[in-house]
């Protein structure tokens, strides 16, 4: 299956700082999503972004499918941004419905 | 309220004692799936279902069974649980045609002694 690597594994930010999280994948993908898991374990879908750029408030994401990576930008971070960020991909035609997750980036935003 | 529910939320059991974790959604979603989350490994897909009576293996199906007899329910069955199945389990659902995991359940923390 497709390999998904996220970096960095851990990130400590001061409130107000900006950051970039990266997701590399080993093959072409049909779909790519970013998720946030808050400290209470709840998983929230952030972006569905197999290609291009999207923005949602202070978060934005860019996927360059031809170069097999995606970036998640957090601007003006807040303590509520703490948690784990995952990217997940769905591969080629024979992988319809099968999602591969990266190991995640643990983000801690300090006041 | 539109939601995915899982039961139980917490379970401690012993090796070999069959158990079922239920997953139910009230949004008429076609696609449902199960994941397990382990430290350092992210989420790994166990099984998924594109629609009623259609199920497929994910990356880690060994030791698990599922069924999809009706659209709203997708139970996860552990016929003979073992300690390596101790994990946090999530169910998710999404409408057909959009592989966008819009709704996750709250998770079930399972401990097998």
**Which candidate from A1, A48, A104 shows the least CB-CB separation from B100?**
A48
User: What angle is formed at CA B65 by the lines to CA B68 and CA B23, rounded to 5 degrees?
Assistant: 50
Measured between alpha carbons, how far is residue A23 from residues A69, A89, A93 in Å? 5, 10, 21
CB contact under 8 Å between B101 and A103, yes or no, is: no
**Which candidate from B35, B40, B59 shows the least CB-CB separation from A103?**
B40
Question: How many CB pairs lie under 8 A apart between chains A and B?
Answer: 61
**Which candidate from A33, A42, A99 shows the least CB-CB separation from B45?**
A99
| Residue B45: count of CB within 10 angstroms of its CB | 23
Chain A residues closer than 8 Å to B92 by CB: 43
Q: Nearest to residue B83, comparing CAs of B110, B113, B39?
A: B113
Tens-digit pLDDT profile for residues B53-105:
999 999 999 999 999 999 999 999 999 999 999 999 999 998 876 666 668 99
Q: Nearest to residue A33, comparing CAs of B92, B37, B73?
A: B92
Burial of B70 (0-12, 13-18, 19+ CB in 10 A): exposed
φ and ψ of B31, to 5 deg: -95, 130
Q: What pLDDT, on the 0 to 100 scale, is given for residue A92? A: 67
Chain A residues closer than 8 Å to B98 by CB: 48
- Spell out the per-residue pLDDT of chain A, length 111, in tens: 789 999 999 999 999 999 999 999 999 888 899 999 999 999 998 999 999 999 999 999 999 999 999 999 999 999 999 999 999 998 866 677 788 899 999 999 999
CB contact under 8 Å between A100 and B106, yes or no, is: no
**Which candidate from B44, B59, B99 shows the least CB-CB separation from A97?**
B99
Chain B residues closer than 8 Å to A97 by CB: 31, 33, 48, 50, 56, 99
């Amino acid at each position: 299956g497709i390999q998904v690597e996220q970096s960095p594994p851990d990130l400590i930010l001061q409130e107000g700082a900006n950051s970039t999280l990266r997701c590399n994948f080993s093959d072409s993908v049909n779909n790519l999503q970013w998720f946030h898991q808050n400290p209470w374990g709840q998983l929230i879908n952030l972006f569905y972004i197999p290609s291009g750029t999207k923005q949602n408030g202070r978060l934005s994401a860019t996927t360059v499918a031809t170069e097999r990576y995606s970036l998640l930008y957090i601007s003006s971070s807040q303590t509520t941004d703490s948690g784990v960020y995952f990217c997940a991909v769905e591969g080629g035609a024979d992988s319809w419905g099968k999602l591969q997750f990266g190991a995640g980036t643990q983000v801690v935003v300090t006041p | 309220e539109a939601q995915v529910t899982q039961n139980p939320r917490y379970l401690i059991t012993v090796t070999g004692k069959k158990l079922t974790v239920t997953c139910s959604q009230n949004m008429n979603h076609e696609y449902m799936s199960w994941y397990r989350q382990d430290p350092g490994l992210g989420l790994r897909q166990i099984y998924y279902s594109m629609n009623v009576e259609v199920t497929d293996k994910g990356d880690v199906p060994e030791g698990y069974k599922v069924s999809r007899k009706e659209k709203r329910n997708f139970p996860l069955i552990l016929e003979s649980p073992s300690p390596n199945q101790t994990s946090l389990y999530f169910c998710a659902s999404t409408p057909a045609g959009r592989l966008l995991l819009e709704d996750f359940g709250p998770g079930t923390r399972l401990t097998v002694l």
